Structure 1
Amino acid sequence: MKKEGYYSSGQFAKMAEVSVRTIRYYDKQNILKPSYVNENGTRFYSDRDLARLQQILLLKFLGFSLDDIREITVDTADYHMMKNSLEQQHKLIQDRIEQMQLVETAIRDTADAITKDHEPDWSQMLRLIHLTGMETSLKRQYQDSTNITARINLHQKYSVNKQGWFPWIYQQAEIRSDMHILELGCGNGALWTENLDKLPEQISILLSDTSEGMLRDVRRTIGAGDIRFSYRTIDCADIPCEDHSFDLVFANHVLFYCDDIDQVCREIRRVLKKDGLFICSTYGSLHMKEISQLVQDFDPHIQLAADNLYERFGLDNGAGLLHRHFTQVDLSRYEDSIYLKEPEPLIDYILSCHGNQNQYLLNRYKDFRNFVQKETQKGFTITKDAGIFLCRV
């Protein structure tokens, strides 16, 4: 018996303009399960399933494998998740267009070289191989960029301190004309996009990150025409810049991710001018503690982070680590908290974390959303315990 509001496999396939065989294959691959199976084993699909199928088909068109699609598709049972998913897919399309433009240029250059010299330019051929193999890295870059944006959005929109984290850091830096500035781990570039109107016209800023995807997002946001900015993938432990070349170096929530913090500090000190300033941020043990407690109350198996990063480099032990390399180290705390009454931004933040939460939450999204909505409807306060170290040689 058919259930109202549901479509048979044949109807569903016709609506999506795919074959029934494709629908069955996605079912077997655990990528798209039917919303309802009747007592005879007949499968039925809903409008929500159609939205998910469209997402799957788009990702497949973009060149992602079924294993990739299984990992990066999300439950579209909520309009907010759907909107986020579409925005993420738009970024993927932009990345893929840029990639294919590079491939097109490389193919043309390689063909021209063969026509001219009657033999291939092997360095150009290697570049072509690299470009056509970029698909495997797109997923990771896209996820990183999306995740960091979700975390920043929670702070930007719901923080009690109306000055904002990035304007506050900018104020501490006392940026002047003609400075040469390096940011290590620039993420989505929020330090600069939120302060563009304050930046002097005569200034040089090198934005770096290990993720090419993040750098592409920042370049799009700032605009390629802003000649004050340049972009480069950089490993913090091996900065490819000359000695004493920067007046100011930023590392915003970066050092606790580094394998060798001492080596990173040595490199930063090397590229800093003798009267330069190094600003690095981190947090303490109380930071966002209510969020960890919230997910634990829902499911005690959930861990939002494999490690407590503040134990590696935090507000309590950071000064001691920095004093090994800098003669003056001053701590400035940022007084703030988060207050909100709606579940979606908090859920986005939780799903963006580096822990095991997606393993337990994505298949129970509706239950989790109801749980968070109940916890936030009367107001939910989140502690912030963050600050910056200002370091001089």
Structure 2
Amino acid sequence: MPQQHYTSGEFAKKAHVSIRTIRYYDQKNLLKPAMHTKSGARLYTDQDFAKLQQILLLKYLGFSLSDIREMTIGSGDQQLLRESLQIQKRLAEEQLEEMKNVVGAIDSTSKALEQNEQVDWSKMLNLIHLTSMNQSLSLQYKNATNISARIRLHRDYSTNKEGWFPWLFKNLHLKPGMKVLELGTGNGALWSQNIDRLPEGVNIILSDISEGILADAKSEIGENSEFQYAVFDAQKIPFVDNTFDLVIANHMLFYCDDIPQTLKEIRRVLKPNAPFVCSTYSKRHMHEITDLVQSFNSNIVLSSTNLYERFGLDNGEQILSQYFNDVTCHKYNDSIEISEATPLISYILSCHGNQNEILLNHYPEFKHYVDEKVQGGFHITKDAGYFVAK
């Protein structure tokens, strides 16, 4: 069946937006026409409606046009589109929950006024201010999306079928009644994937600097009395000395602005001889992905900071030995074998470098390039592990 094309006017009418809006999105490189006629008129396809839907909903949810442009890279790819729709759903659910809170506050305020009771206007104003700050949540959700893309690549294409999280959990050696603190919990995968293996009576405090990401972890783990949640910076842990039987930092220590201060805090809240388990990776870890993008465009840098240089497998023992007496390293034996482009591209787009601004206008060429590279199989080295420090 031949693909149908729509003029700007037909496309705008069918989408219930103005022609001016369609032209504006073209000028801003948000929604380019599928093709032009010989006279230069814009032509759109049914596939372009999917991208327009994304743009309009993300705009409604409070994202800036520059955010939207980055978030809709590769929207013509069906798998990336499905992933984007799930993200949009979560954003809409979050806003719905906030609006329910506002409605509840309005009802209680109205009731107080009817009964001539004193109204706590500051509480009402704080709630409305919080709701109006919805745009600030965009970074949190983009971070959560990035974490999901990275976990999917490892989960679905790693050769070690035990998986990182079950392997790490097994090596924590949790015992009944232990009091545990995890710093930088992320989306809680360490616990949600091992929930049936928790010993009885263990008390686990999950922390993160991001309230939004911690909410995602709570949602993944579900209602479970063993878990408590706390938002704080690991450089200032809000617990007294000698509190925990175990502290965990899973691929997070290299993100801390002041690693020495963080380690001092961890040592302070640990009980005597209790272990600190922290994971990281080396320079060799997944270097093939960096090689791949730089062979496409040498200006692409996937990370402005080489995190393994801040705290990695090669220098981690030296750093930890300044604060702990007994430090041992344990390696995870794994690699990635993949022959599909989309999961690899999702991972690349999730990185914290300049790749998105470079790939924004070159996604089709990049997709074709990665398709060719992974055809017949593509090997990715994994060099990760954890330290135990006491």
TM-score (norm 2): 0.93
Aligned to 2:316: 318
**Partner Cα distance (1:34, 1:168) in 2:** 48
Which residues in structure 2 correspond to 1:213-252 (within 5 Å)?
A: 213-223=212-222, 225-252=223-250
Matched letter for residue 329 of structure 1: V
Q: CA deviation at 1:251?
A: 0.5
Which residues in structure 2 correspond to 1:245-284 (within 5 Å)?
A: 245-284=243-282
Moved more, 105-114 or 349-358: 105-114
Aligned to 1:179: 178
Which residues in structure 2 correspond to 1:1-393 (within 5 Å)?
A: 5-109=4-108, 121=120, 123-223=122-222, 225-392=223-390
**Partner Cα distance (2:167, 2:48) in 1:** 45
Matched letter for residue 263 of structure 2: C
For the 8 Å contact 1:52–1:75, the answer to whether it is kept is no
Q: CA deviation at 1:147?
A: 0.3
For the 8 Å contact 1:252–1:280, the answer to whether it is kept is yes
For the 8 Å contact 1:150–1:352, the answer to whether it is kept is yes
For the 8 Å contact 1:113–1:121, the answer to whether it is kept is no
Q: CA deviation at 1:263?
A: 0.6
Q: Secondary structure at the match of 1:333?
A: strand
User: Alpha carbons of 1:107 and 1:69: their partners in 2 closer, same or farther (altered >3 Å)?
Assistant: farther
For the 8 Å contact 2:70–2:356, the answer to whether it is kept is no
Q: CA deviation at 1:230?
A: 1.7
**Partner Cα distance (1:115, 1:237) in 2:** 48
User: Alpha carbons of 1:162 and 1:116: their partners in 2 closer, same or farther (altered >3 Å)?
Assistant: same
Q: CA deviation at 1:108?
A: 4.3
Number of residue equivalences: 389
Matched letter for residue 48 of structure 1: Q
Q: CA deviation at 1:101?
A: 2.7
Q: Where in structure 1 are there 5+ consecutive unaligned residues? A: none
Q: Secondary structure at the match of 2:387?
A: strand
Q: CA deviation at 1:67?
A: 4.0
Matched letter for residue 72 of structure 1: M
Q: CA deviation at 1:383?
A: 0.8
RMSD: 2.0
For the 8 Å contact 1:77–1:366, the answer to whether it is kept is no
For the 8 Å contact 1:287–1:383, the answer to whether it is kept is yes
Matched letter for residue 208 of structure 1: S
For the 8 Å contact 2:102–2:128, the answer to whether it is kept is no
Matched letter for residue 70 of structure 1: R
For the 8 Å contact 1:248–1:278, the answer to whether it is kept is yes
TM-score (norm 1): 0.93
For the 8 Å contact 1:95–1:138, the answer to whether it is kept is no
**Partner Cα distance (2:230, 2:46) in 1:** 44
**Partner Cα distance (2:257, 2:197) in 1:** 34
Moved more, 329-338 or 8-17: 8-17
Q: Where in structure 2 are there 5+ consecutive unaligned residues? A: none
